[in-house]
Amino acid sequence: MAGLLRASEEGLKIMDMVRRNLGWNKTEDAWCLAALVSTATLKRFWARIGIRRENFINICKAVEIENWEYIAEGYKIKKTEPLLAAAIADIPLNSETDKNFPLPENLPPVRNWVNRTKELDILKASITNSDITAISIVGLPGIGKTSLISQLIRQLHTENTCFTAVVWQSLESATGKAPPFDRIIDSLLFTLSNGDITAENDCGKKTENLLKILREKHCLLVFDRADTLLKAGKAKAAGYFSENCTEYAWLFKQLLETEHQSKILFTSRESLAELPPSLTREIQLNGLNQDAAITLLKYFNLTGNEEELAELSARYQGHPKALQLVASLIRDDDEFQGNVGKFLQDRDWLLIRDIKKLIDEIIARLSEIEQTCLSRISVYQTSEYPLSFAAIATQMPEVSKYELKENIILALKRRQLLYYDCQRESYKLHPLVQEKGDRLLNQNPKNVSIAHRQAYRYYISIPLKPKSEWQNIEDIKPLIRAHYHASQAEDLDAAKAIIAEVGEVIDWVRGFIQIFVTHRAMLTIPVRLLTVEESEETEEIKVQAKNQFSPTSPAPPAPPTPLFSALDFQ
């Protein structure tokens, strides 16, 4: 029938290896959704039965094969060879002789997989390093830890690795607490011994039996959600095993300190502080890069150009789960109807309800002093100026620097809520965490003013160059940040004094202020703070700006590029 396409045998080989790389089965729901086809259509595709041209192309593009002609029957075979070779290099052919171990029956599915090649390469290199017994993958909820390890196992399953057995143990339960220890170790023994196990009631004996198997076989043990074993509610205890999980702590100690030929992988929302650092490597998992994040968003068939998708990705710093939740909202909500641009204009916050639940789960584990610190430092804009220990200490005068550094900050870092950017020499908060901290702070308006006032005092204390050497915006950046925080604290005199001090020294600041007032229709602080002139002149400027931006007025001519950005005084 005219207008129908079917896959060639070579094309199906390519498609099969690409979908295996994604962790999809041949009739994956996510594939049908991304390609806008039914399961029956996808089955006909795999049966090499002709389907509509549009559906054929969409099926290929859903797995990032833009050159769908390589897959279709009738295309010259030599054209498919480079693509087939690339696919084979990435995922070997599906041969039973290449499989060293069966996939665990409870292996979590991998949906909407996007490129994490760098992370997978690091993991593969680490588990083949004889000096490392265990690897701990840590990161925020929803960052992709479980999916990454599941995808790693799927790839190892097709490669010539040393492992002869893989066991997946989830430590998550409906109650949020870890399952009983006996259930987990009995499951490990049953799986690794192929059911040949004798009942033992003694924890030590069970551990000995497990270690014996690990010495005899090359095994890979995965403990998913190990954070359920850790203490909550105390900064000093962050990362340490709970009192009711001592048997788990004993098991992990034996697994790491006893010689055997197996490897252990942990996923956790928090660092596992009690694991021996000489035998364990911790890998912090961050968000997707921009290209991968945009690819993920495209799975949801949203309406938006590359710039809008990039902006959405940047807002959430590539957080996979958050992007999927917000993409589903944009696609399914009648208010947006898939329009990314409309969503970006409508929302100036990140924590939609479903994303907020994710962040709340880990915030609930914080002590009161950790929450206090997190909320206060959320006022700092680290994209504008590096966040130093001194800046954090300014916000926490009630505790000693030792207590702040060795307990509170260390706890926030172990809980993956605060991290240090070595390149910028700055502490940072993930945007989702920073917004949550801001909401905690705003529960009491008085605390907001206090935090901004403390930030003002910090920035105003930073030594500057002599005024005679002020040449550009970087020379007075601390003053700009001080002005912002004084304004947010509604300390009008302090904010005006900063502008006056700058204006006395730099003639060109007056021109900047005029440009700033003229081209900012909505100001977050009173306009009178932005000039050292009399209030009558300032009000006249405001009226002129309002008239220039009236609906019937023509757009103003583009101003000369100022030395200050229009956002520098925010």
pLDDT at 53 (0 to 100): 86
Residue range 267-293: average pLDDT?
95
pLDDT at 384 (0 to 100): 92
pLDDT at 95 (0 to 100): 41
Residue range 523-539: average pLDDT?
40
pLDDT at 566 (0 to 100): 36
Residue 138 has pLDDT above 50, yes or no: yes
Query: pTM of the predicted model, to two decimals?
Result: 0.75
Confidence of residue 297 (pLDDT cuts 50, 70, 90): very high
Residue 208 has pLDDT above 60, yes or no: yes
The number of residues in the chain equals: 570
pLDDT at 165 (0 to 100): 94
Residue range 191-196: average pLDDT?
82
Residue range 345-360: average pLDDT?
94
Q: 280 and 256 in contact (C-beta within 8 Å)? A: yes
Query: In which residue are the tokens 């094309």 written?
Result: 11
Which has more pLDDT, 123 or 520? Answer: 123
Q: Mind spelling out the 3-state secondary structure of 504-567?
A: HHCCHHHHHHHHHHHCCCCCCCCHHHHCCCCHHHHHHHHHHHHHHCCCCCCCCCCCCCCCCCCC
pLDDT at 370 (0 to 100): 98
Which has more pLDDT, 286 or 30? Answer: 286
Residue 392 has pLDDT above 60, yes or no: yes
CA distance 45 to 37: 11
- Indicate the average pLDDT of the chain: 84
Domain boundaries, given as residue ranges, for the chain: 4-71, 117-284, 290-348, 367-516
- Judged on CB neighbours under 10 Å (0-12, 13-18, 19+), 162 is middle
pLDDT at 64 (0 to 100): 82
pLDDT at 432 (0 to 100): 97
Would you tell me the crossing angle of helices 306-315 and 290-298 to the nearest 10 degrees?
110
Residue range 351-356: average pLDDT?
95
pLDDT at 510 (0 to 100): 52
What percentage of the chain has pLDDT greater than the value 70? Answer: 83
CA distance 502 to 509: 7
Residue range 494-505: average pLDDT?
84
Confidence of residue 535 (pLDDT cuts 50, 70, 90): very low
Alpha-carbon Rg of the chain, whole angstroms? 29
pLDDT at 413 (0 to 100): 98
CA distances from 273 to 164, 228, 235, 236, 366 (A): 30, 14, 13, 11, 16
Residue range 234-240: average pLDDT?
96
CA distance 160 to 29: 30
Which has more pLDDT, 455 or 204? Answer: 455
- One-letter amino acid for residue 551 of the chain: P
Residue 252 has pLDDT above 70, yes or no: yes
Residue 562 has pLDDT above 60, yes or no: no
Residue 378 has pLDDT above 70, yes or no: yes
Residue range 12-35: average pLDDT?
83
Mind listing the pLDDT tens digit for each residue in 320-347?
A: 999 999 999 999 999 999 999 999 999 9
pLDDT at 550 (0 to 100): 44
Choice among 97-101, 212-216, 223-227, 415-419 with the minimum mean pLDDT: 97-101
The CA dihedral of 245, 248, 254, 255, to the nearest 10 degrees, is: -150
State the pairing for strand pair 219-224/165-170: parallel
pLDDT at 503 (0 to 100): 75
CA distance 255 to 169: 15
CA distances from 298 to 30, 245, 335, 366, 414 (A): 12, 43, 19, 36, 33
Confidence of residue 555 (pLDDT cuts 50, 70, 90): very low
pLDDT at 538 (0 to 100): 42
Residue 549 has pLDDT above 60, yes or no: no
pLDDT at 516 (0 to 100): 45
